[in-house]
Every structure is written in C-alpha cells, then in structure tokens.
Chains A and B, each alone.
Chain A
Amino acid sequence: MAIAELKLAATQTRLTGMVMPEGLNDQRLAAMNRVITMGLAHKRDEYWKYTDPTSLTVSGPVHAPVFDNNEAPQFDAIDRIKIVFVDGVFDADASDDFACEGVEISRLCDLTDGWASELYGTLEERGQVPVHRTLATLNTAFASDGIVIRATAKASKPINLIYLHTDETSDVMLHNVVRVDAGAQLTLLENGPAAARFNGVLEVDVAEGGAFHHVRSQGRDHERRAVTHCFARLATKSLFKSFTLTSNGVLTRNECVLDLIGDDVVAHVAGACVGDGADFNHDDTVFITHDGLRGESRQVFKKVLRNGATGVFQGKILVKAGAQKTDGYQISQSLLLDGDSQFLAKPELEIYADDVICSHGSTTGAIDEDAMFYLQSRGVPRKAATDLLTLAFLAESLEEISDDALADDLRNRLESWLARHS
C-alpha cells in the first residue's frame, strides 16, 4: 500500500470513537479536518525516520506502570504558582489560587472567546509548513484541557504546571496557550510524567520586547510515552528561552517550532536527556525560522545514553530571504556510556539570505579515557569519575538556563539519576 493510503487508514482508525470536547468547536473541527488531510505520522515518514511514531498514533490504551517517585518534587524550593493536573484532570485542591501579579490565568475548558480562542490552534497551524506535525493538530482537535496564561507585565512568580500520573492507562492531551504582552515577562515551569501516553501542545505568542522563559522536567516513569510540541511566534526584540530535562520514559519526542517574525529576536532552545536501556528513545526535533533582521537563535542539546539507549536530534535553521545578520548556532552532542547505545543526528541549514552567520556541530563520543585516568590517578574511583565527567558533559546545556536556582534544581535531579544508575 502507498504511504498516503496507509496514513489515511491509520488516521481513520484512530479518529473512530474519539470524542471531541466541548468548546472551541470551530477551531477543533477545523483541526480535525486538517488531521484527515495531512494524515497522522507514520514510521515511513521522513520526519519520523529515527523514531517510530506508531505507539503515539494508535488507538489506546497504552500501558505504563505508575512509578513510585520518592524524590522531592521538582522546583519544590522555588516560590511559584502551582497548577496540578492528575492524568490530565485539573486538581483544584492541589493547585494554588490563580491570582498572580502581572499574569492572568484561566483554564482552557473555560475559554469562550477573546484573544486565546483566536490564538488557539493558530500557531500550531502555522507550524505545519513545510513539515506536517499532525500529532499537534490532533491535540488541537481533542485536547481535554490546558492552561491559558497572559502576562501583562513582569510576572511576580513563575507559573508551574505539574502533570502527575496515577493511572496505568491514562491517555492525555493538554493544550496550553500563552501570550506575553509587549514588554512583559513570564517564566513557565512544567514537570511530571503526565500520563501513560501524553500529547502536549504549548502555543506561545511573545509580543514586542516580551520575554518568555520555559524550564521543563519530564518525569521518570520508565514506560511513559510523550509527544510534545512548542510553537512560538516571536515579535521584535522579544526573548524566548526553553530548556528541557528528560530522565527516563520509554519514548519522548519533543518538537520545538520557533518563528522569529520580528527583528532583533533572541531565541534559545536547549535540552539534556539521560536514558538507560534498549527501549529508551528520546527525540528532539527543532525547527527555527528566521524571518527578521539580526535574529539570534541557539540550540544546545546533550544526551547521555547507556545500555543500548537511543537518542535522536533533528534540528533545522531556516533563514528566509531578507533575514540578514542572522546569527544561528546549533550543537547536538551525545555521550555514549557503552557500545550498544546510539545517537542519530540530522542537523540542517537552509539559508536564503547572504549576510548571515550559521553554524552547526554534532559529536558522539565515549568518556574521555585520558580525563578518566587523570581523575583515577588522583584517587577518584571509576564510577564517581564517570558521574563527574557525565555531569561536566551536560553542564554546557544547563548553563543555558538563565535562573541559577532553576538550573541547580535540575542539576540535583541529574546527580541523583547518575547516583542511581551504573
């Protein structure tokens, strides 16, 4: 069967029996039509060459045992507004009051009209060119809930979306919509395993001079699966910074689609992942479009892989004609702690302006044996030396986080992970 027919059949099978939630009806129906036109991701799609999307697209349920996490919750020491979802269901008792200076917060399911309903699905739809990201469109059609945030000034506290997982077969789609007004500032934190299978979409519209910081920690449940998309539209002189730490999880695909529409935009996206075991697959897929003058984009991704784990990186910088003085940088690196693990990297540059700086690099390597011997010769045992060198490898990506307290919070998480794995 040709791939188009395969995709249509799979898409129809998936859509059968799915119930569209109430509200945002026009946007949802339009999205469903787009899903049918584009077809869900298929393992023969070029864009899914290194990560098999089947378990993300099939009709559920997908099974993932609940992991008993005895670590302190991520970001626990940070003064923040907590908003808790348990298997995708909003937990009012566990959540803080939504009132926060400089920020307006509401739930997606309460949305009737206004800016957010206009934005809903808009950035996701913009992000479908030139590559289809239909799982995000499926989310626009069927997301059960999510959080709507508008930063009108400098937010007094970070907003922390916490996604807990208690049901072994939970299949969850959440869709968050964020607008950062001109000159406003917002820090969004996300953490937790979310569900047995999670499909998350974040649409972020940053107006002129606005700043958006995003720090995310994806939870430790070994069998969980997640596909997430972040679509951001960045106006003149805006700042966008996103960092993701992923530990465990059998399948994670994080897509980040950034559209630098204004001039002098700064957009950084970074991530660190630690994976153990032959069934671990972690995929970062990034698409950055420069469509303004003097834009600066930066991608820094580091993966530590052991015992047969697989890491994937697909990163593209597209510089449109006229986006002069663009400064694009991309680095993806993996540290393979054994001979069975693998890292698959596909860096891409597509440049139509003639006065730009764009660089990309990718490396794959093992622990540096000279450094190892140096540490051992000073009395540091091999395991401790491996951990030290692994953290050193990941350090460069953690430095991408502007806030030291948040970076330390993630660093502690990494140190504990390393201490548990050998």
Chain B
Amino acid sequence: MLEIKGLQVKLEEEDKQILKGVDLKIGAGEVHAIMGPNGSGKSTTSYVLSGKDGYEVTGGSVMLDGVDLLEMDPEERAAAGLFLAFQYPVEIPGVGNMTFLRTAVNAQRKARGEDEMSAGEFLKVVREKAKALKIDADMLKRPVNVGFSGGEKKRNEILQMAMLEPKMCILDETDSGLDVDAMKLVAEGVNALRSEGRSFLVITHYQRLLDHIKPDFVHIMSDGKIIKTGGPELALEVENNGYADILAEVA
C-alpha cells in the first residue's frame, strides 16, 4: 500500500534536517503505529506525506500503490486515496460543514472520473455516518470546526474520513485533547472503517489509544528515523518504561 524509502526532509525556511532517512512499508489492511518523543519527526512525516508546504524533500521516495506521492499536489494525493486526520483541525468560518464535505467528496470523485454524488444521495449517506459518530444536524450546519469542542473536531475528522473512504489513513495524534469517552467514540469510528483494502498509520504519544485501535506493528521514531519496530507489546514497553531504554539500546 504505502512504501516510504529513505525519506529525508528539511525545513524550507531554515537549514534544519527533520527526517533523516525514514523507511516504512505498510501493507494493505494493516494498522501501523508510530510513537516517539517530542520533536522526533512524527508530525512532519504526516505533513510531508499529505503535501503541506514548507518542507523540502532532500532524498528518498514515497509510493502509494505504485504511484509516486511526492510528485503530486495535496488534492491529487487525496484523490489517490490518502487521508490525514489533523492533530489540530482547521476552523473555516463562512464555509458550512456540509458544503465542505460535499465539495470534497465530489472533487475527489471528479478527479477519479466518477459521477458526482447527488444532493439527496449525499444527504442520506452523511446523516447515516454522522449518526454513528454522534454528530448532530447542528454540527453539520455550522461552519467547519468553528466553535467545535476538541472532541467534536476529532469526530468531524473521522466523519470526513468515513465520507471520503480513503485507502491510506494517517491519524496524527488523534487522541490529543480527548477525554476517555471521546477517545472511545473516535476509536470506534476508526475501527468501523478497518477493512482489507484500507491501511492506517496511527501517530500517537500514548499507548492508551492503541488499546482501542489495535495496531499490527509499532514503530519507534527518534531524531528523524525509525529506530525500532515491533508488535503491540512495544507500545506497552514505552508506556511502562518511557523511551530511555529503547534509545539507549539503539545507541
């Protein structure tokens, strides 16, 4: 599904290398988690994959189902099946949530040469999916993320994911700012989307989220590289002992 090879990235504005050769291969239907200390390059990885400005790729490659992602604009990556659930979802005053969702769904369909969804059909689908995430009609009407609580914003991210049906989902610290109940709700939303053809990359600081979204593989990132890979037990080890032991072991 997703294959990252020797990815090196620096900041455009300053001479600072953030990623120093990231290698990661995610198979179809797999759930991978990336953990790591602050500043290790986790969020940068998610931004570079989705095409945010401000980063310069200085080496390596990223392929999504055999297509070179790095050559594409952000919207082309989205149409190719990549989705990033933002750590800090952006507020867009003046754009209704429903308009936003419908514009996004139809833009992707158009880019893939598919028919646009009719207003009626869209409404039916979005209501159904919103209900599962406990998103009420009012939240759909309001401007995108404006005045949403932390939990509402994250649920709104998962709703977008459910509507867009991507094949490669990146969740960037989706658990940040969530209470236990909200995290469960979000995790249920994610789990409902798990399927053979859909892969996940879950970026998190805490093992807690991984209790709800069970990963197949856990990677530890430090100083711009993946330094250790294991199963779910690796997340437990971090939870219990912190990163010090793992960092010492690799060094």
Cα distance A392–B92 when bound, in Å?
Answer: 8
Complex contact A377–B53 (CB within 8 A): no
- Nearest CB of B to A189, in Å: 25
Complex contact A379–B104 (CB within 8 A): yes
Complex contact A374–B90 (CB within 8 A): yes
Complex contact B75–A379 (CB within 8 A): yes
Interface band, chain A: 20 to 34
- Nearest CB of B to A382, in Å: 7
Cα distance A395–B105 when bound, in Å?
Answer: 22
- Residues of chain A within 8 A (CB-CB) of B107 are 378-381, 384
Which residues 77-122 of B sit at the A interface, judged by CB distance below 8 A? 77-79, 83-84, 86, 89-95, 99-100, 103-105, 107-108, 111
Complex contact A376–B103 (CB within 8 A): no
Complex contact B94–A396 (CB within 8 A): yes
Binds B, one of A120-128, A159-167, A365-373: A365-373
Select from chain A the residue with minimum beta-carbon distance to B92: A371
- Residues of chain A within 8 A (CB-CB) of B111 are 379, 381
Complex contact A389–B95 (CB within 8 A): yes
- Among B50, B84, B104, chain A packs the most CB atoms within 10 A around the CB of B104
Interface band, chain B: 20 to 34
Cα distance A178–B78 when bound, in Å?
Answer: 55
- Residues of chain A within 8 A (CB-CB) of B168 are none
Known: A376-B51, A376-B75. A384 touches B90 (CB 8 A): no
- Nearest CB of A to B129, in Å: 15
Known: A375-B104, A389-B92, A392-B92. A380 touches B53 (CB 8 A): no
Q: Is A391 an interface residue (CB 8 A)?
A: yes
- Residues of chain A within 8 A (CB-CB) of B95 are 388-389, 391-392
Cα distance A379–B110 when bound, in Å?
Answer: 10
- Nearest CB of B to A32, in Å: 47
Which residues 23-66 of B sit at the A interface, judged by CB distance below 8 A? 50-53
Q: Is B74 an interface residue (CB 8 A)?
A: yes
The A contact surface, by secondary structure, is helix
Cα distance A228–B50 when bound, in Å?
Answer: 50
Q: Is B73 an interface residue (CB 8 A)?
A: yes
Q: A372-409, CB under 8 A of B: which get 1 and which 0?
A: 01111111111011001101110110000000000000
- Residues of chain B within 8 A (CB-CB) of A380 are 75, 103-104, 107
- Residues of chain B within 8 A (CB-CB) of A388 are 95, 99-100, 103
Tell me which of A368, A370, A379, A393 contacts B78 (CB under 8 A).
A379
Select from chain B the residue with minimum beta-carbon distance to A390: B94
Q: Is B207 an interface residue (CB 8 A)?
A: no
- Nearest CB of A to B157, in Å: 10
- Residues of chain B within 8 A (CB-CB) of A393 are 94
- Residues of chain A within 8 A (CB-CB) of B108 are 378-379
Q: Is B160 an interface residue (CB 8 A)?
A: yes
Complex contact A377–B94 (CB within 8 A): no
Q: Is B22 an interface residue (CB 8 A)?
A: no
Complex contact A384–B103 (CB within 8 A): yes
Complex contact B92–A382 (CB within 8 A): no
Q: Is B164 an interface residue (CB 8 A)?
A: yes
Select from chain B the residue with minimum beta-carbon distance to A384: B107
Q: B157-192, CB under 8 A of A: which get 1 and which 0?
A: 000100010000000000000000000000000000
Cα distance A396–B95 when bound, in Å?
Answer: 11
Select from chain B the residue with minimum beta-carbon distance to A378: B104
Complex contact A373–B52 (CB within 8 A): yes
- Residues of chain B within 8 A (CB-CB) of A369 are 53
Select from chain B the residue with minimum beta-carbon distance to A395: B94
Q: Which 8 A-B pairs rank lowest in CB-CB distance, beginning with the nearest?
A: A392-B94, A379-B78, A376-B74, A379-B108, A378-B104, A374-B90, A395-B94, A392-B95
**Contact surface of A with B, Cβ cutoff 8 Å:** 368-371, 373-382, 384-385, 388-389, 391-393, 395-396
- Extra 11 A-B pairs, beta carbons < 8 Å, given A371-B90, A375-B104: A373-B53, A375-B100, A376-B73, A376-B75, A376-B78, A377-B75, A377-B84, A378-B75, A379-B104, A389-B94, A391-B94
